[in-house]
Amino acid sequence: MPVASPQRVYADANATTPLLPEVFEAMRPFWMDSFGNASSIHLDGQRARKAIEQARETLADFFHSHPAEVVFNSGGTEGDNTALAGLLRPGDHFVTTAIEHSAILETARRLAQRGVEVTYVPPLPSGLIDPAAIERVLRPTTRLVSVMLANNETGVLQPIEEIGQIVRAAGAFFHIDAVQGAGKVPFDVRRFGCHLLSISAHKMHGPKGVGALFVRRGTPLESLIVGGTHERRRRAGTENVPGVVGLAKAVELASRALEDGTLERIAALRDRLEAGLLRIPGVGLNGADEAHQPVPRVANTTNLWFDDLEGEALVIALDLRGLAVSGGSACHSGATEPSHVLMAMGLDKNRARASLRFSLLRTATDADVDHILRVVPEAVERLRALAPLNAGTLG
Ligand code: PLP
């Protein structure tokens, strides 16, 4: 058994990220001092209201939208649920992709039980969604198309603008799950051509349990959560003031990082990491084209398969060596299922099970990459040597 390394590196940013200190400081006054309810008319309420409306301006700048088109909510899952359930009715046709997050796929499954017709467009083997494949499945009854900006497992960036043009020409509504793309690529909801777009603070060094949904003016979206008149009746419930303030600060810092070279620095670290890991025998890249070159993707992510290994065993071995990463599999009621994303891309079950996602924080350093490149080859070699197949104990 390896001794746990005193150094720990967290390379699972696509699962969640820590607050940046500036975010924590921005939120601090709103827990105990400026704690008012933004709906109250007294001074305490007004302070909270002012903070919310300032945050709304920041989000509108980020989206390139009008402030009235920003709806604060509890995060990506709620945004995705609202976009679908708020627009689709029995008899409508809904188009999405086979590689969406479960926040989309499970909502689609429930809506299908209630009479919505759903088409799932598969990706190309590279993980890209072909806009022509979307165009082919559109019908006169297609009310909504939902495609993610960046895939959470592979980081692959979808040709959103092209898809937006096709959807608009067909007269349907367009939703983008931008949870993994936010803060990693420049944003412009007009250029994307979308009516709805969801983001989540905790994927961009903001707090958990808060996010925002862009709702283009005139979109006939029914709210999912009803009660008071908050958020122009689009989302009832007392506003999470510290959360919203934290989201706005996270967005402000992410916008800065898009312009000050931070993303290029992270991409260079990811490329060095990837090149180092690809030197291990029996390792390959998920999200590559026919020439084995990566397709467009976010700066911080690489997803690799490791032949002759069980991904889960490798995740545990790496955890013991001070490295947090995710496997290309999800645990459903105790059974390890290979990733639906990698399976849809055409990987066989073994490769999908033997895949790992490395996703770097915005604060990642060269020392982090050095640590990863030290522990992964050693863990892979150890596990392969232990594997019954290689030890000759199985036929
Ligand atoms: N959509 C994508 C692509 C995600 O990666 C996630 C989180 O993993 C979500 C939606 C859900 O976001 P949240 O955790 O804010 O509910």
The pTM (predicted TM-score) of the whole model is 0.95
Index of the ligand 1 atom closest to the CA of residue 208: 15
For residue range 251-263, what is the model confidence (pLDDT) as tens digits? 999 999 999 999 9
State yes or no: pLDDT of 103 exceeds 70. Answer: yes
For residue range 70-82, what is the model confidence (pLDDT) as tens digits? 999 999 999 999 9
Task: Give the whole-number percent of the chain exceeding pLDDT 70.
Answer: 94
Contact 14, 203 (CB under 8 A): yes
pLDDT-based confidence at 330, cuts 50/70/90?
Answer: low
Contact 139, 109 (CB under 8 A): no
* pLDDT (0 to 100) of residue 337: 85
Index of the ligand 1 atom closest to the CA of residue 78: 16
Q: What's the rounded Cα separation, in Å, for the pair 360 and 273?
A: 10
For residue 228, the 8-state DSSP code is S
* pLDDT (0 to 100) of residue 335: 56
* pLDDT (0 to 100) of residue 387: 72
Q: What's the rounded Cα separation, in Å, for the pair 26 and 314?
A: 38
Q: What's the rounded Cα separation, in Å, for the pair 12 and 318?
A: 12
Q: From the CA of 172, how far away is ligand 1's center (Å)? A: 24
Which tokens hold the place of 85?
């359930």
State yes or no: pLDDT of 392 exceeds 50. Answer: no
For residue range 379-389, what is the model confidence (pLDDT) as tens digits? 999 999 987 65
* pLDDT (0 to 100) of residue 394: 39
- Using DSSP's 3-state secondary structure scheme, residue 285 falls into strand
Q: What's the rounded Cα separation, in Å, for the pair 270 and 247?
A: 26
- Using DSSP's 3-state secondary structure scheme, residue 5 falls into coil
State yes or no: pLDDT of 332 exceeds 70. Answer: no
The alpha-helical segments, DSSP class H, found in 21-142 are 21-27, 29-32, 43-63, 76-85, 102-113, 131-137
Q: Which residues line ligand 1 (CB under 6 A)?
A: 75-77, 80, 101, 103, 148, 152, 177, 179-180, 200, 211
Q: From the CA of 2, how far away is ligand 1's center (Å)? A: 33
Which are the catalytic amino acids?
331
* pLDDT (0 to 100) of residue 391: 45
pLDDT-based confidence at 280, cuts 50/70/90?
Answer: very high
